[in-house]
Amino acid sequence: MQIFKRIWLWFDDSTGLSAALGPVMSHPVPRARKTAWFYVLGSATLIAFLIQVATGIALASGYVPSSGQAYSSLVFISGAPIGRIIRGIHYFGANAMIILIGLHTIRVYLMASYKYPRQVNWLSGVFLLLLTLLMAFTGQLLRWDQTGYWSVLIAAQQSGRVPIIGNWVGHFILAGDSVGGATLGRFYAAHVFFFPGLIFLLVGFHLYLVVRNGISEAPSIDRPVEPETYRTWYHALLAREGEAFWPYALWRDAVFGLLVILTVVGLAIAIGPPGLGKPPDPTIVQATPRPEWYFLWYYAILSLIPKWSESLVMFWGPVIFGGALVLLPLVARKGQRSPWRRPWSIAIVAIVLFMIAYYGAVGKVAPWSPRMDAPPLPASVVGTTTGPIAQGAKVFHDKGCEYCHLVSGYGGIRGPDLTYAGDTMTPAEITTRIYSGATNMPSYRGNMTPEELSSLLAFLESRHRQPIQPPAPAANQ
Ligand code: HEC
């Protein structure tokens, strides 16, 4: 024991650690009131981020960031018992981090903690929020399955709408003209090195500011913020009724943080990571992806608004929202902090939450969205298990036709129902459609072998309202 103590004393003497950290841990904070539990969300977000770092390092040591092997390396990771749990923790950890940073932002907004002197706290937080969304977005592609692939392709196509620099941005995101190996490399570098590095730096800055400016006291209607006198008043408050950060405030962070960790790990073990979609298939270029829920509402809104307004909304939506977040602490720097005196702040939060929930739900069942998870057509629908018709039914599923077209109730409803295609279209008409595509249907020219096409035609031509009777055998004469 003596030896450990001596090592510690030597280390502390050399680094000055306890002299530096001691005041931070024991610095006074406003006495806990009814709102104290709302103040744990920031530290919980940090804990979720650390979970992501730990599991991310573990995943990166098994993951192969190359277009040929990424998908199969994830299949391999998900197949191993520990790998499955780690991928699950990384998945639920990401969800937890998004939810927690969202709630933390809402808490700070509703209590107007962004007012003087904590404006830069808020601004660094806005960039942390942006970085968190970028982490979620880049992580999605690393799965290298259909959904990740299409989300990124569509995001790149969307960024092409940005005036002047749009093409350059799209090119930069994809590291080329289309999603390929170089895109994966770029997203990997961003997801594993660049964004986490920035997050570490900004979190450090954010925490430094929290200590420098002090934790905001609970808002009160009869105490609006006056920048001229605020700091003096705040220090008097701390001197009068402050209590030491550790243990009087930090224990709540510890309890809630532990709860977050247990929930994430519990869900990872009980449910496991989400299944991987099919490997990406460039033949369905225009299919709309079904991204994670925290982006789903945005994709849904973009698909529902009229076509002419798309570019406007895509560009001005994020600009206005981001601009409002940045300008908020500069414009509303003093005055009332109580949400009851700022009812519009409650209305804005309610509207944002409603949009995410409502359009997220719309996005989940939206008819414009292909059903990536449509199972292969069962034999009872196909009518046979061998020959060109059965092969054609397989092509119909594997080439993604079924994502958009219904056959006897199976498949998506983005395109017309093809249950009776044999009645309504000739093989030549169907061939033209397959080769030339349409507004919301990709062209399959160059992506389908003649054998695949002919079996597909055989299958579609066999779809009739009344099964055609085989000609009766000629009677003996
Ligand atoms: C991304 C969704 C999507 C995919 C994938 C897709 N289609 Fe389509 N398809 C559509 C849409 C939308 C239309 C309607 C186009 C129009 O009329 O402008 C359509 C039209 C058609 C039509 C004409 C139907 C009619 O009644 O006019 C046929 C036939 C067809 N598709 C066959 C296929 C086949 C075969 C495949 C697979 C090789 C396929 N589609 C893949 C969306 C899709």
Closest residue CA from atom 38 of ligand 1: 401
Q: What pLDDT sits at residue 289?
A: 56
- The answer to whether 315 and 162 are in contact (CB under 8 A) is yes
Q: What pLDDT sits at residue 285?
A: 44
Determine the Cα–Cα distance for residues 223 and 214; give it in Å rounded to an integer. 17
Q: Which helix (H) or strand (E) holds 111?
A: none
| CATH class of domain segment(s) 27-365 | mainly alpha
Beta-bridge mates of residue 244: 28
Q: How far is the CA of 312 from the centre of ligand 1 (A)?
A: 29
Two tokens, residue 252: 């709540």
Q: Note the Cα 25 to chain centre separation in Å.
A: 35
For residue 37, give the DSSP letter: G
Closest residue CA from atom 36 of ligand 1: 401
Is the CB of residue 415 below 6 angstroms from any atom belonging to ligand 1? yes
Q: How far is the CA of 459 from the centre of ligand 1 (A)?
A: 15
Is the CB of residue 453 below 6 angstroms from any atom belonging to ligand 1? no
* pTM score: 0.75
CA atoms 441, 446, 448, 451: torsion sign: positive
* Residuewise pLDDT in 10s, the chain (477 residues): 789 999 999 999 999 999 988 888 888 899 877 888 999 999 999 999 999 999 999 999 999 999 889 989 999 999 999 999 999 999 999 999 999 999 999 999 999 999 999 999 999 999 999 999 999 999 988 988 877 877 787 777 677 777 788 778 888 888 887 778 899 999 999 999 999 999 999 999 999 999 999 999 999 998 999 999 999 999 999 999 889 988 888 999 999 999 999 999 999 999 999 888 777 665 554 445 567 888 888 878 877 777 677 778 888 888 999 999 999 999 999 999 999 999 999 999 999 999 999 988 887 766 555 666 678 888 888 888 888 999 999 999 888 888 878 888 788 777 788 999 999 899 999 999 998 877 667 778 877 889 999 999 999 999 988 655 555 555 444
Q: What pLDDT sits at residue 166?
A: 77
Closest residue CA from atom 5 of ligand 1: 401
Strands annotated E in 294-360: none
Of the residues 303, 307, 389, 404, which should be mutated to test ligand 1's pocket, given the most ligand atoms within 8 Å of the CB? 404
Q: How far is the CA of 353 from the centre of ligand 1 (A)?
A: 36
Q: How far is the CA of 412 from the centre of ligand 1 (A)?
A: 11
- Torsions phi, psi of 144, nearest 5? 55, 40
Is the CB of residue 416 below 6 angstroms from any atom belonging to ligand 1? yes
What DSSP string describes 328-343? HHHHS-SB---GGG-H
The contacts found for 160-164 with CB under 8 angstroms, 24 or more apart, are 161/310, 161/311, 161/314, 161/315, 162/314, 162/315, 163/315
Q: How far is the CA of 296 from the centre of ligand 1 (A)?
A: 24
Of the residues 429, 441, 455, 456, which should be mutated to test ligand 1's pocket, given the most ligand atoms within 8 Å of the CB? 441
Q: Count the Cβ atoms, other than its own, within 10 Å of residue 236.
A: 12
| Ligand 1 atom closest to residue 412's alpha carbon, by position in its atom list | 2
Closest residue CA from atom 41 of ligand 1: 401
Q: What pLDDT sits at residue 268?
A: 97
Of the residues 433, 435, 449, 451, which should be mutated to test ligand 1's pocket, given the most ligand atoms within 8 Å of the CB? 433
Crossing angle for the helix pair 343-365 and 293-304, nearest 10 degrees?
80
Determine the Cα–Cα distance for residues 401 and 453; give it in Å rounded to an integer. 12
Q: What pLDDT sits at residue 229?
A: 95
Of the residues 405, 447, 452, 457, which should be mutated to test ligand 1's pocket, given the most ligand atoms within 8 Å of the CB? 405
Tell me the CA distances in angstroms from 71 to 14, 188, 277, one per residue in order: 48, 13, 10
Determine the Cα–Cα distance for residues 245 and 42; give it in Å rounded to an integer. 15
Answer whether 27-365 and 379-461 agree in fold: no
**Parallel, antiparallel, or unpaired for β 243-244 and 28-29?**
antiparallel
Tell me the CA distances in angstroms from 376 to 280, 387, 456, one per residue in order: 17, 16, 14
CATH of domain 379-461: 1.10.760.10
Determine the Cα–Cα distance for residues 362 and 412; give it in Å rounded to an integer. 15
| Ligand 1 atom closest to residue 460's alpha carbon, by position in its atom list | 35
Determine the Cα–Cα distance for residues 158 and 165; give it in Å rounded to an integer. 12
Crossing angle for the helix pair 450-461 and 427-436, nearest 10 degrees?
130
| Ligand 1 atom closest to residue 444's alpha carbon, by position in its atom list | 38
The residue extents of the domains of the chain are 27-365, 379-461
| Ligand 1 atom closest to residue 417's alpha carbon, by position in its atom list | 26
Give the contacts of 476 (CB within 8 A, at least 6 positions apart).
Answer: none
Q: How long, in residues, is the chain?
A: 477
Two tokens, residue 341: 């005196």
Q: Note the Cα 450 to chain centre separation in Å.
A: 39
